[in-house]
Amino acid sequence: MATNFTREEAKMMDQQDILRSFRNEFYLKNDGVYMDGNSLGLLSKRAEETTHELLNSWKQYAIDGWTEGEQPWYYLSEKLGESMTELVGGKKEEVIATGSTTVNLHHLVSTFYKPEGKRTKILADSLNFPSDIYALKAQLALKGYDDTHLIQVPSTNGHVLDEEDIINAMTDEVALIVLPGVLYRSGQILDMEKLTKAAHERGIQIGFDLCHSIGSVPHQLHDWGTDFAFWCTYKHLNGGPGSVGGLFVHEKHAGITPGLAGWFSSRKDKQFDMEHSLTPAEDAGAFQIGTPHVLSAAPLIGALELFNEAGIDRVREKSLKLTNYMMELIKHELDEFDLKICNPVDPKQRGGHVYLEHPEAARICKALKMKKVIPDFRTPSGIRLAPVALYNTFEDVYECVHILKEIMREELYKQFENKREIVS
């Protein structure tokens, strides 16, 4: 990788980057460095274009937009689901664009969590994003169980999980397992194939939250036999704030009755029969609830076009190079400043961002923003930096690390309070 850590070397790596043309597809601030694409991806020109197209279809067709135009709304969720199949390693019948992360989690758990006998517990982890834990506790309460029925596998160091600890927690009291594909804080990739195999050997169904992995790492959910998965589309997929989420249900569960049935759970040819007995779709479409959020889905049409052109394997290859370069630079330039790299170094376990810890993290992030570098603070002492393959460059990484070095050397962070903003 890097040898002399110069800006010229970074520029040379950018010239050799086979994905470099995709940067031109995005709206970038020329005077800043965006390193927060694992929280909210940037707007692409393609996503802007498809948003205008959907607005115009409303303008031109009114209610006939459900079946007319280039993007008929009635089939939009299925079309977008098919566009995400390569990203998750699923079949088109297994993937649907619908809902949001937490709504989809509620729907899937309400379907797959069936406590019986002593199998009443849900297995999760101690490092998951809070929203997932809130939803799991709420689902337990709906079934009449308290929080003691939620098992959260602990971390030995507060950053990563040991898959063997998770497997050892798969007891005969566990009815369902829900885990992240990539840990939101440290960026650790869990071995989803290994965990799925272990769960099924013990007669337990398992699902994964892919919010921090989809668009960043490849998946093979169908081949792994994973029961279900769910995700947002506004991070690495660049679908825009509040863009419609997605979910996967393995074809072996085709025909299962959805736990939260609704209007768009219907089989398409039966939906307008207006019967009071649901005929659910025989694929992942059954896990829709209400009317598709057409205008929230519109940017995703264009955003996914870029991924299908770039290819997730090439995205992953560049992502690993970017994060590796960033870690090398940090070690070379910032060794004296007590910034600890807490994400996995092993590329098989490393997701799409670098995670640093420092006691002054909140004020360091504020200083970075003052210098027009956009990071992501995670309480109490975490700094996430995400060089995104489709629009960040090696020179961006070089600039980010050297601005961070200036902040630490000059102690520029001391002018700020060491507390988070309202949104961090």
Average pLDDT over residues 126-134: 97
> Quick one: pLDDT at residue 31?
84
Q: What is the mean pLDDT of the chain?
A: 96
Write out pLDDT tens, residues 29-75: 878 999 999 999 999 999 999 999 999 999 999 999 999 999 999 99
- Is residue 154 scored above 80 in pLDDT? yes
- Domains defined along the chain, listed by start: 7-31+312-415 (3.90.1150.10), 48-309 (3.40.640.10)
User: 1: pLDDT confidence band, cut at 50, 70 and 90?
Assistant: low
**Rounded CA separation 187/355 (Å):** 7
| CB contact set of 101 (below 8 Å; sequence gap of 6+) | 131, 209, 211, 230, 231, 232, 245
Annotated binding site: 101-102, 129-132, 209, 212, 234, 263, 291
SS3 for 209? Answer: strand
Q: Which residues contact 211 (CB under 8 A, 6 or more apart)?
A: 101, 129, 180, 184, 231, 232, 235
The pLDDT score that the predictor gives to residue 389 is: 98
pTM of the model: 0.96
In whole angstroms, what is the distance from residue 88 CA to residue 381 CA?
32
Which residues line the annotated binding site for pyridoxal 5'-phosphate?
101-102, 129-132, 209, 212, 234, 263, 291
* Structure-block tokens of residue 132: 């997932």
Q: Is the pLDDT of residue 23 over 90?
A: yes
Share of the chain above pLDDT 90, in %: 93
Q: How far is CA 329 from CA 17, 230, 317, in A?
A: 19, 34, 19
Residue 164 corresponds to which tokens in the numbers above? 């063997």
Tens digits of residue pLDDT in 374-392: 999 999 999 999 999 999 9
What pLDDT does residue 136 have? 98
Mean pLDDT of 187-214: 98
Residue 4 has pLDDT above 90, yes or no: no
User: Using the 8-state DSSP alphabet, how is residue 401 labeled?
Assistant: H
DSSP code string of 11-35 = HHHHHT-TTGGGGGGB---TT-EE-
What percentage of residues in the chain have a pLDDT greater than 70? 99
Given a cut of 90, whether residue 2 has pLDDT beyond it is no
pLDDT per residue as tens digits for the range 348-368: 999 999 999 999 999 999 999
pLDDT digits (tens, 9 = 90+) for 274-332: 999 999 999 999 999 999 999 999 999 999 999 999 999 999 999 999 999 999 999 99
The pair of structure tokens assigned to 214 is 């989809």
Whether the Cβ atoms of residue 320 and residue 392 lie closer than 8 Å to each other: no
